[in-house]
């Protein structure tokens, strides 16, 4: 048998719980990344464009900093959950693929 072939092991309930946690971290990362992207798009693209064309009142520009703050906070939270996933995933995968290594 080829020593580089991955032979999966048994996955017990504790490992399934860790897999679920890792997938949850990845899903939360995706959610906050999308929130950050839309907040940045609204703050940097939509509001200035609508205010410049007159389709929104000039006072709408006061909302720009709010969307920038939402985007920045969402980005930081997204990075946190991505880091949690990157820390957890190799250990979880190594439990049922013992030869797995980065």
Q: Domain extents for the chain?
A: 26-96
Cβ-based neighbours of 37, under 8 Å, separated by 6 or more: 71
The DSSP symbol for 55 reads S
Predicted pLDDT at 18: 93
Entry pTM: 0.82
CB 36 within 8 A of CB 74: yes
Can you read off the two tokens belonging to residue 90? 């190799």
Give the Cα separation of 74 and 11 in Å (integer): 34
Average pLDDT over residues 40-49: 95
Average pLDDT over residues 43-71: 94
């Amino acid at each position: 048998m080829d020593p580089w072939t991955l032979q999966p092991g048994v996955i017990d309930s504790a490992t399934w719980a860790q897999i679920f946690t890792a997938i949850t971290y990845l899903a939360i990362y995706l959610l906050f990344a999308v929130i950050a992207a839309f907040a940045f798009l609204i703050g940097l693209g939509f509001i200035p464009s609508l205010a410049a064309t007159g389709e929104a009142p000039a006072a709408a520009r006061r909302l720009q900093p709010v969307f920038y703050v939402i985007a920045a906070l969402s980005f930081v939270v997204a990075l946190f959950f991505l880091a949690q996933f990157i820390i957890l995933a190799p250990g979880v995968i190594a439990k049922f693929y013992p030869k797995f290594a980065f």
